[in-house]
Amino acid sequence: MIDLLDLQKHFILTHLHEGDIAVDFTMGNGHDTEFLSKTVGESGHVFAFDVQEQALASTSEHLKAVQCPNNYTLILDSHHNVKKYVDVPIKAGMFNLGYLPGSDKKVTTMRTTTLPAIEAAIDLMDKDAIILVAVYPGHAEGDAEGKEICEYLSTLSRYKLCATRINILNSPTSPFFIIIENKP
C-alpha cells in the first residue's frame, strides 16, 4: 500500500537539495522541519511556522534530539505571514494541514489563513520549486479547506504551474496531498 508521507518526500527530493531554502508552513511536532533541515544541510535554511507555542517547544526539542543542523528558524506566527520573515526564493514548502498531533484538536488550520499562505508560497517559489499541501478532509474545516484550495489552484495558469492532487479513490475521507510545481 502507498504511504502518502513517503510519496511526499519522494516528490520533494526531486527539487530540494543541499544549500536550498525551504519552508515548513505548519511545523507541528517538527517532523517535516527535520526532513527539510536534514535535506538542505548545513549550507541551507528552513523557516518553520506555527501559531501554537506548544508546537515550537515540541519542534525545538525534537530537532535537538535528532541532531539536526542549526539551519532553521522557528517562528511563532501564522503561515499566512510568511513574507514578513522570508524574502528570498524558496525551493520547497510543506503544509501539513489540520491540527497539532497529540493536541486537544481545538486549534486547526483555517481556510482564512491557509489560502493566503499558499498564495504567498507560490509567490516565493524559486525556479524548479515545489510546494506540497497535505489535506485532512475527515473533519468539517479540513474538508472545506481542501475544497477551497483545489478550487483556487484549478484557476491558475497551467503554463506557469502544475497542480496535481494525489488521493485514495476508494476512501474519500482519507488524507490527500497536492503538489504544486512551477514550470521551467
For the stretch 142-161, pLDDT in tens is: 899 999 999 999 999 999 99
Q: What is the rounded CA–CA span in Å between residue 116 and residue 180?
A: 15
Q: Are strands 45-50 and 21-24 parallel, antiparallel or unpaired?
A: parallel
> Which residues form the domain of 30?
4-182
Q: What is the rounded CA–CA span in Å between residue 19 and residue 150?
A: 31
Angle 56-59-63 (CA atoms, 0-180°, nearest 5)? 140
Q: How many helices (H) and strands (E) does the chain have?
A: 5, 7
Give me the CATH number covering residue 10.
3.40.50.150
**What are 21-72's pLDDT values in tens digits?**
999 999 999 999 999 999 999 999 999 999 999 999 999 999 999 999 999 9
Mean pLDDT of 167-174: 86
Query: By percentage, how much of the chain surpasses pLDDT 70?
Result: 95
3-state secondary structure of 159: coil
State how many domains the chain has.
1
Q: What is the pTM of this model?
A: 0.94
Query: By percentage, how much of the chain surpasses pLDDT 90?
Result: 74
Contact 103, 50 (CB under 8 A): no
pLDDT at 3: 79
Retrieve residue 81's grid coordinates.
505571514
Q: What is the rounded CA–CA span in Å between residue 68 and residue 168?
A: 33
